[in-house]
A and B are shown apart, each in its own frame.
Chain A
Amino acid sequence: GAGVSQTPSNKVTEKGKYVELRCDPISGHTALYWYRQSLGQGPEFLIYFQGTGAADDSGLPNDRFFAVRPEGSVSTLKIQRTERGDSAVYLCASSSPSGGDGGTDTQYFGPGTRLTVL
């Protein structure tokens, strides 16, 4: 079946602008995650959704970052007043409960959105 998809694949914006990044999880996956991968580093956790609610947004760097998942499927990561330091690849992942501990659930990743802030 279809994997996690993310749009756009590339986004170039100017400093101070607002951007939205979209994630379509695997159908039926109740959990959705956003990570950010800066150049030369591993992905860093941003936010975790279980259904429609953000269960853990502790990784969002500041209040310019916000994410929603209104119907428990598609999610949008929103960044206000973008800064050059926001340039990174934004990854989305989804998972379905395996019946065991949550840590055993496999997270399936999308290809990411490469955000460049000029």
Chain B
Amino acid sequence: AQSVTQLGSHVSVSEGALVLLRCNYSSSVPPYLFWYVQYPNQGLQLLLKYTSAATLVKGINGFEAEFKKSETSFHLTKPSAHMSDAAEYFCAVSDRGSNDYKLSFGAGTTVTVRA
């Protein structure tokens, strides 16, 4: 089964600074990859996903992620953090093939933004 590892359970950044959240997956076959954001008392919201097109994926709210097969990584970045980016972020993966609907999530990274 697929799995993902998110490095760092908490990240603190200054407003206007770069946001970098790390995600590594376990499979030798490139899976589908996703980043979700969860605000307090709200459902998970999809930020972006990698399926099979461009390796640099642009998402909502200025976020982007780059798929690097050689590093089995899918790190999430945003050039300039905003206070509204404070939330919990989850990387997720699903297999290609018959189980492609089954998402496996990392443990999450909580982002705080300092004024």
Residues of A within 8 A of B (CB): 3-4, 31, 33, 35, 40-45, 48, 56, 59, 91, 93, 95, 100-112
Q: When the two chains form their complex, are residues B108 and A101 in contact, meaning their CB atoms are under 8 A apart? A: no
What residue in chain B is nearest A37 (Cβ atoms)? B105
Contact residues, B21-62 vs A (CB, 8 A): 31-32, 36, 41-46, 49, 51
Name the segment of B11-19, B65-73, B75-83, B92-100 touching the other chain. B92-100
Specify which of A108, A109, A110 lies most central, judged by the most chain B CB atoms within 10 Å of its CB. Answer: A109
Across the interface, which residues of B come within 8 angstroms of A35, CB to CB? 103
The range of chain B's interface size is 20 to 34
- Tell me the smallest distance from the CB of A73 to a CB of chain B, in Å: 18
Given contacts A101-B100, A102-B100, A103-B94, contact A42 B105 (CB under 8 A): yes
Which positions in B face A, CB cutoff 8 Å? 9, 31-32, 36, 41-46, 49, 51, 90, 92, 94-96, 99-108
Partner pick for A104 among B9, B51, B103, B105, CB 8 A cutoff: B51
The residues of A that contact B46 with a CB separation of less than 8 Å are 106-108
Closest to B39 in A: A111
Known: A31-B101, A45-B103, A103-B32. A111 touches B42 (CB 8 A): yes
